[in-house]
Chains A and B, each alone.
Chain A
Amino acid sequence: MKRSPLFIGVGNRFRRDDGVGLWLAREIKRRGPRTAEVLETDGEGAGLMEAWKDRGEVFLFDAVRSGAPAGTLHRVEVSKQPLARNFFRGSTHDFGVAEAVELSRSLRGLPGRLLIFGVEGKDFGEGEGLSPPVETAARNLLSELLFRGEKT
């Protein structure tokens, strides 16, 4: 039987925009299809590799900092292109999302399709809540995903 897609939210909700991935994961769990599998994580690389191993389709949400305007949405189909190592926020012992993706690629352990949505953050200071441009981008992405989900 075909497994439903896995949605992974990565981040730290106590560092403002760094929590955007978790916000998206939580909203998909709340408003998405009942069969949706959702995982919230701090982005520890080995755990991510374990989570997406043998999966067909995986969507991962995380905050990024690339210099683009806040709220910019980056979509990366990782089966088609490598990830920049400094794309995401720092992770413990240099083993986070980008490393997990590239290590999985080296070990031929990527899921059938891994689509990463990176939302350009603005405020990574202490505290909860997203900055306005990031929240707007997250809501737009959520609508798009839910609409797409309804159609399929």
Chain B
Amino acid sequence: MKGKPSRIRTIKVDTLARLEGEGALYVRVRGDKVQDVQLKIFEPPRFFEAFLRGRDFREAPDITARICGICPIAYLLGASTAMEDACGVKVTEPIRKLRRLIYDGEWIESHVLHMFMLHAPDFLGYEDAIQMAKERPDLVKNALRMKKIGNDIMARLGGREIHPINLRVGGFYKAPAKRELEPLKEELKWGLDAMRDAMKTLSGLSFPNFEQEEDCEYVAMRHPDEYAIIEGRLVSTRGMDAPIREYDDHLTEEHVERSTALRTSVKGRGVCFVGPMARYNLNFNQLSPVAKEAARAARLGPICRNPFKSILIRGVETIFAFEEALRIIEHYEVPDPPAVEVKPRAGTGYGCTEAPRGICYHRYTIDDRGAILDAKIVSPTAVNQKAIEGDLWRFIPKNLGLSKEKLQWRCEQAIRNYDPCISCSAHFLKLELDDA
């Protein structure tokens, strides 16, 4: 432009920190226009879908759980429910309740880790949780104790907190006795109070003034009777409403060279967004009164379009999970037997659950002896890749007045809004500013 210097800014984050997995960010800006945004995922492909072929259908939960150490329940239950669907089996209500209880544990430990150890330092101006702990020790101590409660639920039901070993197609190998769950009650009560209290701190954070577009398509599961976690229909804010078995009719995947993870979009429409904010926007009415009240106190309406406020929504969901876990334990009925019998039959089964980061989809075709012929698994972070880039395309132009360090910080924070599960490493940050 005449009289205006051409100014190219390149933000190159070779390795993104405080994420799960290995990823990088590349952004190029000329003047006040963003020319390119690329979220690169170079976590090596692991070929789970390929090496599941030929394995017995009962092996899928434990094999796929190795995809993630933070949310193994999403894979254990996604695979189990898909196999039960293929074999025409429904589990009993007590087994279903126990499944929700262990999922509550996963939500608690994953959400608390992300809110307080990974995301809060961004807002409070600390390099990491270690620095934050020096000045805000109570915040960190309470977070560690809350996280431990989630871990304890996982360990008591699953045998251990990382990659639990007690879940199977049809239910559990062994159901805990009532007295084994009783000791959790006092801690859950403490956790509920602690999280409600922590919401006061979180709602006082300073959030960038940024909103996603009104036609952004939030996708989650919906269940008629409960805030969906382990089953439901696939719904969206733009009218999608389908059984899980029609997932592939609505959502499609593509490969781009810069990412080893396939990228998901809604057929015929484009970017979709999954995770706590999608669940909240679609199912707010099904939250408990206490969780809704916490949302109101944090000045969240029933719809939130600011992804930076996802930290608040994780807090609301953590309150919900503490409450629900307590309620399930108080009314616990030991499933007897702990698993229903599942006999293989030829067919295709579909499963989907709400992992902490959003819907996690499983589809398997098995033969009449139960051998897996075909598998498809879609993780929530793969779905969110385009939404993350979309946020950056819109966020950066509005913040070009920031110093390069602050802009880079904000870009990384915008990625961490999604708690993406691509991983953790040291970060080497590089911002090139070229003023012609």
Contacts and interface: CB of A to CB of B under 8 A. Distances in A.
Contacts, number: 63
B141 interface: yes
Given A42-B162, A47-B151, A103-B130, A94 B18 contact: yes
B70 A93 contact: yes
B179 interface: no
B165 interface: no
B424 A93 contact: yes
Contacts of B423: 90
A145 interface: no
A106 B18 contact: no
A106 B130 contact: yes
A106 B137 CA distance: 8
A14 to B, nearest CB: 10
Nearest to A49: B144
Interface in B126-156: 128-131, 133-134, 137, 140-141, 144, 147-148, 151
B231 interface: no
A106 B129 CA distance: 10
A99 interface: yes
Contact of B130 (A42, A91, A99): A99
A12 to B, nearest CB: 10
Contact of B117 (A47, A50, A91, A95): A95
Interface string A17-51: 00000000000000000000000001010110110
Interface residues of B, number: 29
Contact of B113 (A47, A93, A107): A93
B313 interface: no
Interface string A62-88: 000000000000000000000001100
B84 interface: no
B129 A103 contact: yes
B397 interface: no
B69 interface: yes
Contact of B118 (A42, A44, A93, A102): A93
Nearest to A94: B424
> Which secondary structure dominates where chain A touches chain B?
helix
A90 to B, nearest CB: 6
Nearest to B425: A90
A152 interface: no
Contact of B133 (A44, A85, A91, A103): A103
B82 interface: no
A102 B140 CA distance: 13
A94 B118 contact: yes
A85 B144 CA distance: 20
B130 A94 contact: no
Nearest to A85: B426
Interface in A76-122: 85-86, 90-95, 99, 102-103, 106-108
B17 interface: yes
B133 A107 contact: yes
Nearest to A47: B151
Contacts of B129: 95, 99, 103
Given A86-B426, A102-B130, A106-B130, A46 B20 contact: no
B389 interface: no
A90 B70 CA distance: 14
Contacts of A85: 426
A49 B140 CA distance: 12
Given A92-B70, A103-B133, A46 B425 contact: no
A106 B141 CA distance: 10
Contacts of A91: 424
Contact of A95 (B113, B141, B426): B113
A42 B66 CA distance: 14
A46 B151 contact: yes
A50 B151 CA distance: 12
B10 to A, nearest CB: 25
A50 B140 CA distance: 13
Nearest to B114: A93
B128 to A, nearest CB: 8
A79 B23 CA distance: 34
B355 to A, nearest CB: 14
A61 B117 CA distance: 25
Nearest to B17: A94
A107 B20 contact: no
A95 B117 CA distance: 9
B161 interface: yes
Contacts of A94: 17-20, 118, 424-425
Interface of A: 42, 44, 46-47, 49-50, 85-86, 90-95, 99, 102-103, 106-108
9 contacts: A46-B148, A92-B424, A93-B113, A93-B117, A94-B20, A94-B425, A95-B113, A106-B130, A106-B137
* 5 pairs of A and B residues whose beta carbons are closest in the complex: A94-B424, A106-B133, A102-B130, A92-B69, A106-B134
Given A93-B70, A93-B117, 4 more contacts: A92-B70, A93-B424, A94-B425, A103-B129
